[in-house]
């Protein structure tokens, strides 16, 4: 069960990736986690990545792919994985396909959590984060008992910069330009599966499980 998750920022693909990993006993692999693990362990690949990160530069695609393929070699990936956050562009997707083919391997599914832009702006602009404990809430979908105060620790709630409407709009523009073409790419590969991400989070997960269990 080798899966890549697709979807706009705020579509909820990370949440679904974690649930898939937990239910089916495969690792949830994100590029951020891989970078952090390699940096902490001081691996050769991690130290290479650090030279770019220390200069405020993006880690090159070739090195990111090398880190991902190295991660796929771990024992916990024997039964598959859920890849989240990579690829983000067509060249990255093509490079991943080639790297897997060289190992006589391939992805089984590209699951696209489909949510219209208007829903995403509504979702993200309504999110509130606690400065103290990191808890997250939503003014409409998951409100706190007392406005502006965290239910978990009593800390102050704020709108994160990433959730401000003008920033969300910029992120969506970048997504449509760079990442949305992946939907067409994986559709041509014959592995794309779309799910309606506007539904309740549990219904979205149920639909994904139906896809995975009814090949």
User: How many Cβ atoms from other residues are within 10 Å of residue 123's Cβ?
Assistant: 20
User: How far is the CA of 92 from the CAs of 13, 71, 109, 148, 183, in angstroms?
Assistant: 19, 16, 16, 41, 13
128 is catalytic: no
| Residue of 18, 48, 50, 171 marked catalytic | 171
71 is catalytic: no
| Residue of 71, 127, 128, 193 marked catalytic | 127
127 is catalytic: yes
Question: Closest Cα partner for 35 from 19, 18, 15, 58?
Answer: 58
| Residue of 160, 164, 170, 203 marked catalytic | 160
| Residue of 13, 71, 128, 193 marked catalytic | 13
36 is catalytic: no
160 is catalytic: yes
Name every residue whose Cβ is closer than 8 Å to that of residue 179 and which is 6 or more positions away in sequence.
6, 8, 88, 89
Residues identified as active-site? 13, 88, 127, 160, 171
């Amino acid at each position: 069960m080798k899966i890549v998750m697709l979807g706009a920022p705020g579509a909820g693909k990370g949440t679904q990736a974690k649930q898939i990993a937990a239910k089916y006993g495969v690792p949830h692999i994100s590029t951020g986690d891989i970078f952090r693990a390699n940096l902490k362990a001081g691996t050769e690949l991690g130290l290479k990545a650090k030279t770019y990160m220390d200069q405020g530069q993006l880690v090159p695609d070739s090195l990111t792919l090398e880190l991902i393929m190295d991660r796929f070699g771990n024992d916990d990936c024997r039964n598959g994985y859920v890849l989240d956050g990579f690829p983000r562009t067509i060249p990255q997707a093509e490079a991943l396909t080639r790297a897997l083919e060289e190992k006589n391997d391939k992805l089984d599914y590209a699951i696209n959590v489909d949510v219209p832009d208007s829903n995403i702006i509504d979702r993200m602009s309504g999110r509130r984060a606690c400065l103290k404990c990191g808890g997250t809430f939503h003014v409409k979908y998951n409100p706190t008992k007392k406005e502006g105060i965290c239910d978990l620790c009593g800390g102050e709630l704020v709108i994160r910069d990433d959730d401000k409407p003008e920033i969300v709009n910029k992120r969506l523009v970048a997504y449509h330009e760079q990442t949305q073409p992946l939907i067409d790419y994986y559709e041509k590969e014959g592995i794309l599966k779309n799910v309606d991400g506007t539904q309740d989070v549990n219904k979205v997960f149920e639909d994904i499980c139906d896809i995975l269990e009814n090949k």
